[in-house]
Amino acid sequence: MASGIFALLDDIAALMDDVVVMAKISTKKTAGILGDDLAVNAEKATGFVSSRELPVLWEITKGSGLNKLIILPIAFVLSAFAPWAVKLALILGGIYLAYEGVEKVYEYIVPHKKKAAVVALKDVSEADQRIAEKKKIKSAIFTDFILSVEIVIIALGTVMGKPILFQILVVSIVSLIATIGVYGIVALIVRMDDFGYKLVSLSANKKSFSSRIGNFLIRALPVVIKSLSVIGTIALLLVSGGIFAHNIEFFHHFLEMLPGTLREFILGILIGFVAFLVMQVVKLFLPKKEG
């Protein structure tokens, strides 16, 4: 009896060890989307008065958690009964990610008309501020839903063929990391400048250590957010290219003479560019919004 219990515990330990290893691999695969998720939500959580940044971020975090609760059961059902649908969703998601990456590159390279100046939220009434908050929260949660679908599908793609319990454990861990990890880091980022101001206020001497660190944090915030956006864009193209290279037979041997990372990056750009051109053509036939 005792030997049977120990054997069971040993099996559980071996299973969890495999789960942790595979979760680590899956997290690496989703790193590009996590980087983009991080950059997007850091931007969404800024622009509010200091006292509202964390409450807004908490609302977005709860929405993200709800997104995962909706997506995960559907993904597991598809994996069990229609694995082809998971692969199809993965490829379609890859096209979306490649399109998004190329669109960001295009917006950076091609000059755009400047939008009308937006009034800072701290300069409007409290009622208008709450309305603006709700719109931003809703937008952030919708964006998170799209990114969450990709995170779950990519994570699920790394454990396809494994027992369903193994899939559930691995993908659930990755989803938990995606929610707690991303939004925890976003919380630190959006409070970086406030922490900097606090350090500066500790000493009247502008050359003191605390003042220098504080000023560095204040100046670093916009640079960090912009850097995350650039890193996220590159990662989107790499992740999408990897999806095409590993899931579409035609691309298995595409540019084999090149290193894998460079090959996937080129694939992401090429397919993203095609998707971007298609969308531009579609937009030509869509009715234009007045005003």
> Can you give the pLDDT at residue 288?
65
> Can you give the pLDDT at residue 35?
65
> Can you give the pLDDT at residue 273?
93
The residues spanned by each domain of the chain are 14-284
Residue 72's alpha-carbon distances to 63, 67, 77, 161, in angstroms, are: 14, 9, 9, 17
> Can you give the pLDDT at residue 113?
56
How far apart, in whole angstroms, are the C-alpha atoms of residue 94 and residue 88?
10
> Can you give the pLDDT at residue 29?
60
How far apart, in whole angstroms, are the C-alpha atoms of residue 159 and residue 152?
11
pLDDT along the chain (291 residues), means of 10: 44 50 58 64 63 78 87 84 80 84 86 49 63 79 78 77 78 82 79 79 75 83 77 79 81 78 88 92 74 46
How far apart, in whole angstroms, are the C-alpha atoms of residue 33 and residue 246?
17
DSSP state string for 217-264 = HHHHHHHHHHHHHHHHHHHHHHHHHHHHHHH-GGGTTTTTTS-HHHHH
Residue 84's alpha-carbon distances to 80, 200, 247, 249, 250, in angstroms, are: 10, 57, 11, 14, 17
> Can you give the pLDDT at residue 79?
77
